[in-house]
Structures are given as structure tokens and as C-alpha cells.
Amino acid sequence: TPHPRAFVVGHPIAHSRSPLIHGHWLAEHGLPGTYERVDVHPDIFPDFVRSLRAEGWVGGNVTIPHKEAAFRLAEVLTPRAERIGAVNTLWFEDGRLHGDNTDAPGFLAHLDASLGAGWPEATGVAEGRAALVLGAGGAARAILVGLLERGLHRLIVANRSAERAEGLTALDPARITAIAWDAVPAHLPETGLLINTTALGMAGQDALALDLAPLPDQAAVADIVYVPLETPLLAAARARALPAVDGLGMLLHQAVPGFSRWFGRTPAVTPALRARIVADLGSHR
């Protein structure tokens, strides 16, 4: 039988670290198989997806700007992908193309690994404090769905474009409130978990300018930007001695379910894998 071949598809795709992650795991497990970058223009993305079976792919990852298109083209969706409206992982099962969104469990797995599974109690979000999500793009949507699945009942979302934040409250109007971007500082005293999902803080972008002094002492701060690894927001959290959760762990953990579906082994997010990607990020900055 031919070696299993999986892909990561995007446009552009040259910057993707996913081949490094999956290549590391293939070597670690001594598995035959490949994981390849594929650059596909949005105009021909549906043709690419329809050709997957004939071209012999076992599945792959989908990144910007194709996640919504992949959601429409998958034949079977997980309930989570259905709710998020975006697919980042495709695989064949019983002859049909399945789609899932692993950004949500990836974010939560990294939170569990960084803060310990008791973080809802430790940060106070289990008992009334809010999880405050900055940003209202695709990543924010996935993270909100993940936090809802985890049973959090008080979620606040703030975004520069207010109507996008309003739109996300439809996921669960009883548990998600939208606030104005300018109202973020006033909500920090009641926040147990602060999460940046905007592009602010990314290399080449403005920093996220937010004074973290009003956050409670039990609060934790997460950023999903991972270039640089230590964003100005995370540096500010550390300066206040608050736990700081970086964005790289989400990227590593979101890759796990795809690998196990395509290659039949469940890989681990190890310090060695992390060090390998950190070294690569450093050499390309």
C-alpha cells in the first residue's frame, strides 16, 4: 500500500509551521507517510477538495483563507465544527470526507497543560469571574465555543468592530455578552481569564495597549499570537506575576487530532517539539 499523504492547504502557505510539527511526529514514531504544504488559490479550492480522494490524500489541515469553504465542502461535520462554522481538519472515514475544528480543543488542551486542569477554580471563572475574549474573528469564535463546551457561564467579548462582537453572542446569548472595545479596562476587575485573539501584538502590528493593573491577583492571561512568543501583553502579565499562556501551545495541540486520524497514532506535545518550533520561529524572524 502507498504511504499515507496528508496536506496543509492555505494561500499563502509558505509560512506554515505545520509541516515541521507533523514531520517531527512522523520521525518520532518511525511512521511511513508525508505531510506536505499545498498552496491553493480560493477560486480553485472547491476543485482541490473534490480531487482529494482521486489524488490519494488521507486528509489534511486547512488554514487561512479556506476554513469556511472547507466547512461548506465537508460531507460530515463534527458538532463542534457545525457550531463554529469553520473546518481546519479534514479526513476520510467510511468513504466520506469529514471535517472538524481542532482550534477550540487545541486552545483548551494548552490551557490545561499550562495552568493545570483546575484553572476554572484557580482563576475564579468557575465562580462568577468572566473570561474576557478580545477579538471577534474566526479564532475568537472557536475559543468561545471551546469555553462554552467547558461549561464556562460568563463570557465577555470585545472587538474593535463592535458588530462582529455582537454577532458572536448568538452562539449562546445567555452566557456571552458583547462590550465596547473602550469598555475593556472597566471590565478587568471582574475578569479571571483574559484572552487576546486579535492580531495586535503580532510582529509587524501594533502592541495591544492595555494596563493589566485592574486584573484580580488570581487572573491568568492568554495570547494566541505566537510570533513573537512573548507578546507585549504576556510580558505585562508576567510583570504583574500573573500566569501567561502563549499562543504556540494552541498551534501544537490543535495538530494532534489530525495526526492521529491520518497516521493512526496519537502524538504528544513534548518540550522537544516545542523547542524545535521555537528555534524555527527564531531563525525566521
Q: Which residues are catalytic?
A: 67
Position 254 contacts ligand NDP (CB under 6 A): yes
How far apart are the two ends of the chain, measured CA to CA in Å?
A: 40
Using the rule CB under 6 A, give the single segment among 3-11, 36-44, 200-208, 257-265 that binds ligand NDP. Answer: 200-208
Please give the Cα distance from 85 to 2 (Å, whole number): 33
Q: Taking CB under 6 A as the rule, does residue 193 contact ligand NDP?
A: no
Ramachandran region of residue 163, left (φ > 0), alpha (ψ -120 to 50) or beta?
alpha
C-alpha cell at 79: 458538532
- Three-state DSSP at 2 gives coil
Taking the complex as a whole, the smallest distance from the CB of residue 127 to ligand NDP amounts, in Å, to 28
For residues 181 and 151, give the distance between their C-alpha atoms in angstroms, rounded to a whole number: 25
Q: How far is the CB of 59 from ligand NDP (least distance, A)?
A: 19
Distance CA 264, CA 169 (A): 37
Q: Among candidates 202, 271, 276, 266, which has minimal Cα distance to 233?
A: 202
Under rule CB under 6 A, residue 125 binds ligand NDP: no
Stretch that binds ligand NDP, among 48-56, 118-126, 171-179, 247-255 (CB under 6 A): 247-255
Shortest CB 251 distance to ligand NDP, Å: 4
Q: How far is the CB of 192 from ligand NDP (least distance, A)?
A: 21
Stretch touching ligand NDP by CB under 6 A, among 27-35, 49-57, 118-126, 219-227: 219-227
Site string for ligand NDP, 84-123 (x = CB under 6 A): -------------------x--------------------
Of 152-171, binders to ligand NDP (CB under 6 A) are 159-161, 164
**Phi/psi class of residue 6: alpha, beta or left (left: φ > 0; alpha: ψ in -120 to 50)?**
beta
State yes or no: residue 206 binds ligand NDP (CB under 6 A).
yes
- Report residue 26: phi and psi, to 5°: -60, -45
Closer Cβ to ligand NDP, 4 or 269, answer by number: 269
Which of 186, 243, 231 lies closest to 211, judged by CA?
186
With 0-12 CB in 10 A as exposed, 13-18 as middle and 19+ as buried, what is 117? exposed
Q: Which of 4, 135, 146, 243 binds ligand NDP (CB under 6 A)?
A: 135
Tell me if 251 contacts ligand NDP by CB under 6 A: yes
58 or 225: whose CB is closer to ligand NDP?
A: 225
State residue 87 phi and psi, 5-degree precision.
Answer: -125, 130
Determine how many CB atoms are found less than 10 A away from the CB of residue 126.
17
Binding of residue 225 to ligand NDP (CB under 6 A)? yes
Q: Which window, 25-33, 40-48, 117-125, 194-202, contacts ligand NDP (CB under 6 A)?
A: 194-202
Q: State yes or no: cis peptide before 12, omega within 30 of 0.
A: yes
Q: Assess 26 for contact with ligand NDP (CB under 6 A).
A: no
The residues binding ligand NDP (CB under 6 A) are 103, 135-140, 159-161, 164, 197-200, 202, 206, 224-226, 247, 250-251, 254
